[in-house]
Amino acid sequence: MPELPEITAIADYVGAKAVGTQVRRVDVAALSVLKTYAPGPQDLVGATVTGTRRIGKYFILDARKGDDALALVVHLSRAGWLRWSEKLSPTPLKPGGKSPIALRVHVGPEGEGFDLTEAGTQKRLAVWIVRDPQEIEMVATLGPDALAVTRDEFGAILAGSRAQLKTLLRDQRTIAGIGNAYSDEILHAAKLSPFAAAKSLDAHQADALYAAMRSELQDAVERSVGQHVATLKAEKRSGMKVHARTGSPCPVCGDAVREVSFADRSFQYCATCQTGGKVLADRRMSKLLK
């Protein structure tokens, strides 16, 4: 799933290509991707792109048509992606086809624009066209951004939560921008167990977690911004120390990276670095052994 660093880089890349140009056409291939209908895709046609930005894990393309401000808001979810092309086909997309393309935006010079694609069968890619992103309930209820929250605010969040750290970091209404991958990396860097209770941390541990959150995300943003959108997934994978590296040696201590699996997801950690050598129970295997 694209997280804060990748969405920041996507916004930067698309902005460099599209700001100041007009939306020429919007093709919808999967009606289910649209979560709003008024304004609709046709209202974006002829609008001038005024900016691109990120809110949490949402990509925002801002545009203006006369006196009307519009925003194309995109949540790529688990399997969605944005693909920029300088050779978009002029042939309209066919709704209901087998193509992974859900929506195409022709913007910039003739032939350029981007596709929103989604792999797999679980269709969670979501697009809204609104006048203000705060009209979207899931945007309006986001917690403070992970790179904007202050140390005092972060401490208050920890002290007031009964959640485990892994859950807290991924909860967009608590802290916005972090997903499964970077929460693994942050907890590894902070040397904290994913199952530790947020409110149980002492001041030193809270300092370490806050510092790790900022450094891991800032480093990832610096690696990602300026790259072509097509290389961002590989860049994200290459920067991971524990996430999706089950069985590989931890780059800090050399112990094998371990995994805890759930029904539809998993996370990785280093027992030596994070849990004092204790191996966390794998929920999937525990069920099989019962």
- Find out whether 228 and 83 touch, Cβ atoms under 8 Å: no
Residue 61: inside a domain: yes
Q: Are residues 9 and 137 in the same domain?
A: yes
How far, in Å, CA of 120 to CA of 3, rounded?
Answer: 19
Question: How would residue 289 be classed by pLDDT, with cut points 50, 70 and 90?
Answer: very low
Please determine, for residue 264, whether its predicted confidence score (pLDDT) is greater than 80.
no
The dihedral region occupied by 19, where left means phi > 0, alpha psi between -120 and 50, and beta the remainder, is: beta
Amino acid at 198: A
Mean per-residue pLDDT of the chain: 94
Residue 256 structural domain: 151-270
How far, in Å, CA of 128 to CA of 29, rounded?
Answer: 15
Q: Are residues 168 and 199 in the same domain?
A: yes
Question: Could you tell me the sign of the dihedral formed by the alpha carbons of 183, 186, 189, 190, in that order?
Answer: negative
Q: What local confidence, expressed as pLDDT, does residue 286 receive?
A: 44
Residue 137: inside a domain: yes
| 163-191 pLDDT tens trace | 999 999 999 999 999 999 999 999 999 99
Please determine, for residue 7, whether its predicted confidence score (pLDDT) is greater than 80.
yes
| 126-157 pLDDT tens trace | 999 999 999 999 999 999 999 999 999 999 99
Q: Are residues 9 and 112 in the same domain?
A: yes
The CATH number of the domain where 168 resides is what? Answer: 1.10.8.50
Taking residues 243-271, report their average pLDDT. 94
For the entire predicted model, the pTM comes to 0.94
Give the chain's domain count: 2
Helix 203-224 with 180-190: angle, nearest 10 deg: 130
Least Cα distance to 106 among 50, 160, 44 occurs for: 44
pLDDT > 70: percent of the chain? 97
Q: Are residues 158 and 137 in the same domain?
A: no
Backbone angles phi, psi at 232, to 5 degrees: -65, -40
Q: Which residue has the higher pLDDT, 224 or 284?
A: 224
- Find out whether 189 and 216 touch, Cβ atoms under 8 Å: yes
- Find out whether 105 and 91 touch, Cβ atoms under 8 Å: no
- Domain end, chosen from 141, 163, 183, is at 141
Residue 254: inside a domain: yes
Residue 248: inside a domain: yes
- Find out whether 36 and 137 touch, Cβ atoms under 8 Å: no
How far, in Å, CA of 141 to CA of 176, rounded?
Answer: 10
Residue 281: inside a domain: no
- Find out whether 176 and 56 touch, Cβ atoms under 8 Å: yes
Q: Are residues 216 and 252 in the same domain?
A: yes
Q: Are residues 130 and 165 in the same domain?
A: no
The total number of residues shown for the chain amounts to 290
How far the first Cα of the chain sits from its last, in Å, is 32
Helix 203-224 with 151-159: angle, nearest 10 deg: 120
Q: What local confidence, expressed as pLDDT, does residue 287 receive?
A: 42
Q: Are residues 236 and 217 in the same domain?
A: yes
